[in-house]
Amino acid sequence: MRRRAIVFLLAAWMAGAAAKIILPLKPDSVRFAVIGDSGTGGAAQREVALEMEECRKSFPFDFVLMLGDNIYGHKTSKDYLRKFEEPYQGLLAAGVKFYASLGNHDDPNSTAYKPFNMDGKKYYSFKKGGVLFLALDSNYMDPAQLNWLKSELHGSNATWKICFFHHPLYSHGKMHGSDLDLRKLLEPIFQEQGVAVVFSGHEHVYERIKPQKGIYYFVVGNSGELRVHNLRHSPDTAAGFDTDRAFLLVEINGNSLYFQAISRTGETVDSGELAAPQHSGSTVAAR
């Protein structure tokens, strides 16, 4: 126990100063964080978690989206403790809710793990303000899930429809790259049903893709794992970061979505404002 406390203090010291929040903090906005490929249980994951805690002091976000690979390796109770409950204990104690999606390293039965808020489902949706969030299981995109997705999207008049899942439809990571088969099936649904933003992980880097067919794509796969210098240069990359761990803060207010990507050490590595899709093209103003 004492050893753990020392490790935490050391991690806090190493994590450095809190990032300067440049998000607008408008009243009644929907505020959340995004992490992906986080569940290593390593020091870097803990440092990212501490940085998130620090940021929350000036940007009080209510929940966190998890983009899969939430628990790497073995899945004993000790693993859940070391790879989730301990790193995020500060956020969990503060009442921050985590909404998980499944990665290829996750136990499909972790849907029953209450702190992941999946309610036993591999894919599910929830609403916050005028925002519809859909967690998908990109490991197993069968016709049943595709039909469910179409129906959920079709039945919603939310201003923002946001999907999050593990395997990216667009990525310029050298390790995996885009999942073309998944893209072929999901992208037409996203377009037709007005999905505005997609968050994915799997690739252990941060990348923001230039809007593709009017949809904003983010890859946040370096909140625990990291593949240094693994981003391939591409004209479709709007911003990238592959030299340290990172997470994303998001604020949505009316027709605007503000984002700030922050590194393990508190450096702002990307930020900007996106406009809600008008079904006739969207704009992005990156800072």
List of residues contacting another protein (CB under 8 A):
73-77, 80, 104-105, 107-110, 112-115, 118-120, 138-144, 146, 167, 176-185
Whole-number minimum distance, CB 104 to another protein, in Å?
4
Angle, vertex CA 172, rays to CA 84 and CA 122, nearest 5 = 40
Please, which residue, 85 or 254, has the CB nearer to another protein? 85
Q: Is 22 helix (H, G, I), strand (E, B) or coil?
A: coil
CA distance 47 to 148: 37
Whole-number minimum distance, CB 245 to another protein, in Å?
20
Please, which residue, 182 or 205, has the CB nearer to another protein? 182
Phi and psi, residue 255, nearest 5°: -90, 5
Whole-number minimum distance, CB 180 to another protein, in Å?
4
- One-letter amino acid for residue 57 of the chain: K
Please, which residue, 14 or 232, has the CB nearer to another protein? 232
Please, which residue, 109 or 283, has the CB nearer to another protein? 109
Please, which residue, 102 or 252, has the CB nearer to another protein? 102
Whole-number minimum distance, CB 268 to another protein, in Å?
30
Task: Classify residue 185 by burial, with Cβ atoms within 10 Å: 0-12, 13-18, 19+.
Answer: middle
Nearest by Cα to 200 from 231, 170, 160, 230: 170
Q: Is 16 helix (H, G, I), strand (E, B) or coil?
A: coil
Whole-number minimum distance, CB 108 to another protein, in Å?
5
B/e letters for 28-41, b = 16+ CB within 10 Å, e = fewer, are ebbbbbbbbbbbbb
